[in-house]
Structure 1
Amino acid sequence: MFKKAFLLFVLISFTACHTTQTVVRTTKKVPPKTRTVSRTPKRTTGTKPVATAQPPKSTNQAGNQQGEEVIVSTSKTVVYTEVVNNYVNDFKNIAMGNMKTYGIPASIILAQGILESGAGKGDLAVSANNHFGIKCHNDWTGETVRHDDDSDQECFRKYKDPSESYRDHALFLTTRTRYSGLFKLPKGDYEAWAKGLRAAGYATDPKYPEKLIGYIERYNLHQYDSQVLGTEYVPFEGQPVKVSNAGSSTASAGGYEVQKGDTLYSISKKFGLTVDQLKQKNNLTENAISIGQRLVVQ
């Protein structure tokens, strides 16, 4: 009996060992390892280095580099301050002579000459001695040249020498009624004259007065008005200077004393005349003159 009970127990135990059981497994989540990533900036191919801004070059009174003056005349002209100063020295006496004779401020005459002729280096000044950009108009019977301006190949006046251009400029302003209002302005008020020229239609450029005033003040051209008027001259870069009424130590009361090296041409150029006009004023039949001789120049 005991044997049977023992065998039964062994049989039950053996059967229990082979029973299928569902096993639940728990998977522990392992956190990922932290890696330190070193990033190298991406190089862009074909990229040029950026240049750093360079300090500006030194400028002159006109605000241009290395004394360069860009003048938009009838042809765009680039000149240097020295060229402008030389131009003023060459024509200041003619301008003062025209101021005395015709009543146009010398500063305005010179400023217009600088602007219109490119300080004597523009195409019209070089090819035709035309320093004021005066076109032919219907009353012109002299020589002409063609030049692109507001329209292609417009007709401009041609002169034998620059002094004729200066004289014609004075006649152009004094003989046309549309400019008559200018001569009611004070001769020492170059700003009013500059604006008046534009208003009367001398130029279509709305900045024409501004340009004339700019040249007058940069190059102190109003000093020549003061010389003619005998007034106090105040330079823009210095203190007031008192000047005499005479434009030259050798010229007074419309007369001129011939100096060494003078010729009828050089004297006529100083006073805005032609050689023939100078000879006519002095009843000369030939070109010979002598040192110390007094000539009528007005």
Structure 2
Amino acid sequence: MSMTIGDAPAPHRRMTLGAREIAAGLIWLVLLFVPLWLPALGGYTDLATRVLIYGMAATGLNLLLGHTGGLSFGHAAYFGLGTYGTGLFLIHVMPSLPLAILSGTLLGGIAAILVGPLVMKRKGIYFSMITIAFGQMFYFVAVRWNSLTGGEDGLTGFSRVPLHLGSRAIPLGPTGFYYLVFGLFALVMLIVWQILRSPLGHGFVAARENATRLRFLGVAVDRQIWAAFAISGFIVGLAGALDSLLVSFASPANLQWQLSGEFVVMCVLGGMRSFWGPLLGALIFIGAQDYLSSVTQNWMTFIGLIFVLSVLFFPNGLLGFIKGRARA
């Protein structure tokens, strides 16, 4: 009897692991060939690129929100700083695409590093409110600094430049830019996956579940929250850098708390504690936004309805619901 009980979980674990690997492989294949099959469904490549960019930003936020337990309504600030950092580099420094993306990522990430110590000791609603305050501070700086940022009109005068690989210049049309974003998205997902499997990632989850017990064990919980906040800021900053290249524009609206709320909605829709949940949430949100905005001016009402129904009927997100049904 004891052998039967003891032996049963091992093949079950192997089957579960195999199913996850197959599902992940299918997701990557679908993403890899998006430019081939999406136009046949009436879509366009830039829409898929936008889904990956916002999925990346939501994944960055989810590292803090879903895995560490910190609800931030100020992460749009790091997204917006990424857009401005990239645009300003292309305008005032040099037309180098990799360096422009790097500059936007660093600007967003360094800002998160600096803000982190000021928010990491707060909990609950106080944590959320102070992140909003810092986010709005960056927004008002961008609006008021007309000579540098363009003020309320935003930053223009830059565009995607060819990607130089040695002596070869590769122009980035919609398909080429999609694959650039896809490659960076894959890199971010790999980094997040490695972090979540590491002792640091387990520390994030432990801080979410019981920070008091961790403190009694002598763990520096505040530093772990700071680390999650900083890593999250770098990922969101990278997403902002790519977004500025997608639309050739940096808007102060990218720094506002409303966009932070959209990132939160994406995480909740897909599943906050799921690895692929933020990408699924971004797909639902961006897809619904693109379609509904073409048929009605009140599209935000329908987005809100989708969010409310998701919270009521899928409290663990759509991916959490699917996993629950699969176990059943």
TM-score when scaled to structure 2? Answer: 0.24
Could you say which structure has the larger radius of gyration?
Answer: 1
Q: Which has the higher contact order (CA 8 A, sep 6+)?
A: 2
TM-score when scaled to structure 1? Answer: 0.26
**Which one has the bigger helix percentage?**
2
